[in-house]
Amino acid sequence: MKEKKKLQVSAIENGTVIDHIPARNLFNVISILGLDKIKNQITFGTNLESRRLGHKAIIKIADTFFADSDINKIALVAPDAKLNIIKNYSVAEKKMVSLPDEIKGIVKCMNPQCITNHESITTRFTVISKTDVKLKCHYCEKITDQQHFDII
């Protein structure tokens, strides 16, 4: 099985591999990490078979390493994502993402009457549940749940 995966998306010499992204959220991950704006070589595969997720996506970013505080933001849309830090074609470190206690930006508040949807304000949420993710808006105090995430 492992050999087959390597064939699906080619290996990198140095960089970060993000695996186990739900296929439908690949582009959200790209946007949260700002991958559309970096110049390094990026390869990704999507709609790959996964026993756990059904369809998963994988991203390999050459010569790029992320701070935990940045990479943890993707936990909103890819809670089971696994990171492999690649050095010289081999896995130097493995990491899981974990949702921070507070989220700034990234998600819109689902309350249409919230001030953040009417003025240019960075949204801010307290994470009140990490399993079935629920965010409480710092401004309007209403809850946005993961079924209603609208990524900015």
Partner 1 sequence: MKKKSLVSITDFSKNDYLKILDIALEFEKNPEPTLLKNNVIATLFFEPSTRTRLSFESAITRMGGRYIGFSDTKTTSIAKGESFKDTIRTISNYCDMIVMRHPLDGSARYASEVALVPVINAGDGTNQHPTQTLLDLYSIKKTQNTLDNLTVFMVGDLKYGRTVHSLLMALSEFNTNFYFISPEELKMPQEYKLHLDNRGLQYKEQTDLSEDLEKADIIYMTRVQQERFTDPMEYEKTKNAYVLRNHMLTNSKPNLRILHPLPRVNEISTDVDENPKAYYFTQALNGVYIRQAIISLILGYK
Backbone region of residue 40 per phi and psi (left: phi > 0; alpha: psi in -120 to 50; beta: other values) = beta
Write down the least CB distance from residue 73 to partner 1, Å: 22
Which residue lies nearer to partner 1 by CB, 81 or 137? Answer: 137
Q: What is the 3-state secondary structure (H, E, C) of 63-107?
A: CCCCCHHHHHHHHHCCCCCEEEEEECCEEEEEEECCCCCEEECCE
By beta-carbon proximity to partner 1, the closer residue of 26 and 109 is: 109
H-helix or E-strand spanning residue 8: helix 2-8
The yes or no reply on residue 137 touching partner 1 (CB under 8 A) is: yes
Among 143, 146, 149, 151, binds partner 1 (CB under 8 A): 143
Binding characters for partner 1, 80-119, by CB under 8 A (x = yes): -----------------------------x-x-xxxx-xx
Kindly determine how many residues on this chain lie close enough to bind partner 1 according to the rule CB under 8 A: 17
CA dihedral 9, 16, 97, 151 (to 10 degrees): -70
Taking the least distance from each CB to partner 1, the nearer of 14 and 111 is 111
140 binds partner 1 (CB under 8 A): yes
Query: From the list 27, 65, 66, 139, which residue makes contact with partner 1 (rule: CB under 8 A)?
Result: 139
Cα–Cα distance for residue pair 143/4, rounded to 1 Å: 42
Q: Output the smallest distance, CB 19 to partner 1, in A.
A: 36
SS3 for 26?
helix
Residues of this chain that interact with partner 1 (CB under 8 A) are: 109, 111, 113-116, 118-121, 137-143
